[in-house]
Chain A
């Protein structure tokens, strides 16, 4: 059993584990809203567009976490707002506009990184490097997680109304547009906080997989929120430990663990799973099945094939 506790003896592992729990919970908690509000594609685009911001941060401030953080926030805002502007002022729809902007900005980021003050490993930005997490990183993650939880829990009721049926929500006075901006802002912050763990390419996994998994298993909105948070934290921690034991990169390990949970729910989910759909009896209602059986039994002595009506 020594191998189980061995990683916890190292200070860098303790720190990484704490980071994983915080990042996993924050992203998992938010993921319910990302899934229900169908923001996944926007999240993916915005996460890629963080790269030039990180690069500019690295050019001016080296690898100081706060410099990278501000660069990333500005880049996400530019692409998010820019996408809206292009969509409003041209005939393009916003997913096209954002798609165009984010690839351009991603490409720009890859090139800009060449000019960073210090030699940087592109892979760390793309796929994360949780073992290199600093105290400032931990503080940023902690603050973002705290902010997101407070906002989402306090706005839980209006958010539920707005997510389920925006027009009805507006008719009872819910500020739907403002809540939408709140969600996108929190999403960007959570994404940036998770960069150190999973990088720009994989961060969408932490933001979508936890709630998507629970969505396949349950019909409860609050379970999706809290369960998503717990699943995210658990998945990230297990992924980190797996990466330690098997010596694979931590970011992909985290996403693969969450992905395995998602696949299991997709296939084996008791109600909405693929297997359940095929194994379910043909008659959905037990009552109608019983009536049908009774009828066929009553008809059997006479002529089973001529059922008529």
Chain B
């Protein structure tokens, strides 16, 4: 692998009102991989992504990336949780929420959305320079959105909307991309297109891409590795080894692990 960057998750437990939704997850993920996050509804997929993004406090455990530790004090309630450290470590993570939580009528064009990706690096006062403009242009080109750059974000198709958010993450120059159900509601062409983009991000650009996913049929085509999750970690590994009928049955079996 071109990159030796690792995301180490040790003993991660995340709770809602003291009821754990994720139990003692241990994982070691390497950059340059495109990873599927699979599990039944309520398995904690969104919780897992949000906790990596620093949006939820950890009950136990640590997440370490490139020496930056994301640890969250236990006494914080998640409503008031703010990332413990500002600057460096947050900038390297890009979180793409489910499409349904976005206000698509917001007065924002595609270019404006992608430019927002530069804000963490620029801070409140940093001038938007030619270099930033170039990065935005590059992100738009990579996601094939140049021609749509001046459209308002609701005037895009579902696939284009996903790509626009991906372009923002791209402009952020993040190392870790956390995508929550990006393939939901996309037709086959749009799925293929997005899949290729994620491949390019991971294989060529050496990023770590983690995607929560529902459609088991497409897993071998889209991903390098899978994480099976059902409250606890069921299995993790390369698609060829771990993505087997037995594992799938085990993960999606009616037995749901609850605290």
Contacts and interface: CB of A to CB of B under 8 A. Distances in A.
Given A167-B50, A172-B172, A219 B107 contact: yes
B161 to A, nearest CB: 13
B119 A173 contact: no
A220 interface: yes
The A interface, classified by DSSP as helix, strand, loop or mixed, is helix
Contacts of A173: 54, 82-83, 85-87, 90-91, 120
Interface stretch (B108-116, B133-141, B184-192): B108-116
A178 B83 CA distance: 13
A221 B107 contact: yes
Contact of A170 (B55, B94, B102): B55
A170 B124 contact: no
A165 B94 CA distance: 13
Interface residues of B, number: 36
B53 A157 contact: no
Interface in A171-189: 171-173, 175-178
B194 to A, nearest CB: 18
Contacts of B119: 157-158, 160-161, 172
A169 to B, nearest CB: 9
Nearest to B118: A157
B216 interface: no
Contact of A167 (B55, B86, B122): B55
A170 B82 contact: yes
Contacts of B120: 172-173
A192 B258 CA distance: 51
B55 A171 contact: yes
Nearest to B169: A168
Interface residues of A, number: 28
Contact of A164 (B79, B85, B87, B103): B103
B124 A154 contact: yes
A157 B122 contact: yes
Interface string B219-232: 00000000000000
Contacts of A218: 107
A224 interface: yes
A36 interface: yes
B152 interface: yes
B120 to A, nearest CB: 4
B40 interface: no
A155 B82 contact: no
Nearest to A172: B120
Contact of A220 (B55, B90, B97, B107): B107
Interface string A140-174: 00000000000000111110110111011011110
B107 A215 contact: yes
Contacts of B123: 157
B93 A171 contact: yes
Contacts of A167: 50, 53, 55, 95, 97, 101
Contacts of A156: 124
5 contacts: A156-B124, A164-B103, A173-B120, A178-B82, A220-B109
What 8 A-B pairs have minimum CB-CB distances, sorted nearest first?
Answer: A171-B53, A173-B90, A173-B86, A171-B95, A219-B152, A172-B120, A157-B119, A219-B107
Given A165-B103, A221-B108, 10 more contacts: A161-B119, A164-B103, A167-B55, A168-B95, A171-B55, A171-B94, A173-B87, A173-B90, A178-B82, A219-B107
